[in-house]
Chains A and B, each alone.
Chain A
Amino acid sequence: MSGRVATPLRLHRQLNEIWASGRGVKRLAAVNHSVIGTRFMITALIFFGIGGLLAMLIRAQLATSRSAFIGPDLYNQVFTMHGTIMMFLFAIPMFEGMAIYLLPKLLGTRDLAFPRLGAFGYWCYLFGGAILIAAMLAGAAPDSGWFMYTPLSSSAFTPGVNADVWLLGITFVEISAVTAAVELVVSILKIRAPGMSLNRMPIFGWYVLVTAGMMVLGFPPLILGSILLELERAFDLPFFDTARGGDALLWQHLFWLFGHPEVYIIFLPAAGAVSTILPVFAQRELTGYRAVVVALVALAFLSFGLWVHHMFAVGIPHMALAFFSAASAAVTIPTAVQIFAWIATLAHGRPRFDIPMLWIFGFLFVFILGGLTGVMLAMVPFNWQAHDTQFVTAHLHYVLVGGFIFPLVAALYYWLPHIRGRVPAFRLSMPAFWLVFIGFNVTFFMMHLTGLRGMPRRVGTYPVEAGWDWLNLISSIGGFILTMGFALIVVDVFLQVRYGRRFRRNPWKARTLEWAQPIPPPAYNFASLPWITRRADTLEPASIGPELAAGHGYLGFARNGWMETLGVDITSGRMEHVIVLPRQTYLPFWTALAVAAFVLSFLFSYYWFSLLPLGIAFILLLCWTRVTGLDRDNGPVVIGREEIAPLHYETHRPPSWWGMIIALIADAAFYGSLVFSPLFLWLTAPAWPPSQTLKSGMVVPALLVATLAAAPLCARRAVALNAKSRSPVLWLAATAILQFASLILLVILMRTGLPAPTVHAYNATSFALLAYSVLHTFLAAVFSLFGLWRVWAGYVSARRSLDLRIATPLHDYTAITGFAGIGLVLLLPTLITAGEAFR
Chain B
Amino acid sequence: MTSDHRASASLLVWICSGFLAWGAAFAALYSAQALGCGFDWDEITIFGSIDAHRLLLIGLFLLALFASAVLARLCARLPHRIRADDTARFLGNVAKLSAWAALAATLVSLGPVLFTTACY
Contacts and interface: CB of A to CB of B under 8 A. Distances in A.
A304 interface: yes
A771 to B, nearest CB: 25
A301 B102 contact: yes
Interface in B9-41: 9, 11-12, 15-16, 19-20, 22-23, 26, 29-30, 33-35, 37-40
B4 to A, nearest CB: 7
A780 B9 CA distance: 26
Contacts of A334: 101
The 5 closest A-B pairs by CB, nearest first: A322-B112, A301-B19, A199-B90, A197-B87, A570-B8
A199 B112 CA distance: 37
A329 B111 CA distance: 14
A304 B24 CA distance: 12
Q: What's the interface size class on A, roughly?
A: 35 or more
B90 A290 contact: yes
Contacts of A199: 86-87, 90-91
A572 interface: yes
Given A319-B33, A570-B5, A839-B39, 8 more contacts: A294-B98, A298-B105, A301-B102, A317-B120, A318-B117, A326-B109, A571-B12, A653-B5
Interface string A324-368: 001101100010000000000000000000000000000000000
A652 B102 CA distance: 34
A571 B38 contact: no
B78 interface: no
Contacts of B110: 323, 326
B96 to A, nearest CB: 9
Contacts of B39: 835, 838-839
Contact of A290 (B5, B33, B94, B112): B94
B101 A317 contact: no
A198 B87 contact: yes
B30 to A, nearest CB: 6
Nearest to A571: B8
A389 B77 CA distance: 49
B55 interface: no
B38 A327 contact: no
Interface in B65-120: 85-88, 90-91, 93-94, 97-98, 101-102, 104-105, 108-113, 116-120
Interface in A818-839: 835, 838-839
Contact of A319 (B5, B104, B113): B113
Interface string A665-697: 000000000000000000110000000000000
Contacts of A569: 4-5, 8
Interface string A289-314: 01101100110111011000000000
A775 interface: no
Interface string A164-201: 00000000000000000000000000000000011110
A251 to B, nearest CB: 17
A326 B108 contact: yes
A320 interface: yes
Contacts of B5: 569-570, 652-653
A653 B1 contact: yes
Contact of A302 (B2, B105, B112): B105
Contact of A301 (B23, B29, B104): B23
B72 to A, nearest CB: 13
A298 to B, nearest CB: 5
Interface in B38-68: 38-40, 57
A391 B87 CA distance: 46
B112 A326 contact: yes
Majority secondary structure of chain A interface residues (helix, strand, loop or mixed): helix
Contacts of B11: 571
B86 A319 contact: no
A305 B116 CA distance: 18
B37 A198 contact: no
Contact of B23 (A305, A321, A329, A571): A305
27 contacts: A198-B87, A199-B87, A199-B90, A200-B87, A294-B97, A297-B98, A301-B16, A305-B23, A319-B116, A320-B30, A321-B116, A323-B112, A327-B26, A327-B108, A330-B104, A330-B105, A330-B109, A570-B5, A570-B12, A571-B8, A571-B12, A652-B1, A653-B1, A653-B5, A684-B34, A835-B38, A838-B39
A326 B111 contact: yes
Contact of B88 (A321, A570, A571): A571
Contacts of A327: 26, 105, 108-109
B118 A319 contact: yes
B46 to A, nearest CB: 17
A317 B108 contact: no
A192 B5 CA distance: 16
A320 B98 CA distance: 24
A798 to B, nearest CB: 16
Nearest to A317: B119
Given A290-B93, A838-B39, A298 B117 contact: no
Given A197-B86, A199-B86, A199-B90, A298 B19 contact: yes
Given A652-B2, A653-B5, A839-B40, A298 B34 contact: no
B94 A297 contact: yes
B111 A318 contact: no
A466 B48 CA distance: 53
Given A301-B19, A652-B1, A320 B33 contact: yes
B23 to A, nearest CB: 6
Contacts of A318: 112, 116-118, 120
A312 to B, nearest CB: 14
A653 B4 CA distance: 11
Q: Which of B20, B39, B57, B120 has the most CB of A within 10 A?
A: B39
Contacts of B35: 683
Contacts of B57: 319
Contacts of A200: 87
A193 to B, nearest CB: 14
Contacts of B22: 301, 305
Contacts of B109: 305, 323, 326-327, 330
B112 A317 contact: no
Contacts of A291: 97
A318 B15 CA distance: 32
Nearest to A304: B23
Nearest to B7: A571
Contacts of A298: 19, 98, 101-102, 105
A298 B118 CA distance: 27
A293 B105 CA distance: 17
Contacts of A572: 8, 85, 87
Contacts of B85: 572
B108 to A, nearest CB: 5
Contacts of A573: 87
Contact of A317 (B1, B26, B37): B37
Interface string A562-578: 00000001111100000
A290 B120 CA distance: 42
A446 to B, nearest CB: 34
B26 A323 contact: yes
Contacts of B94: 290, 293-294, 297
Nearest to B110: A323
Contacts of B117: 317-319
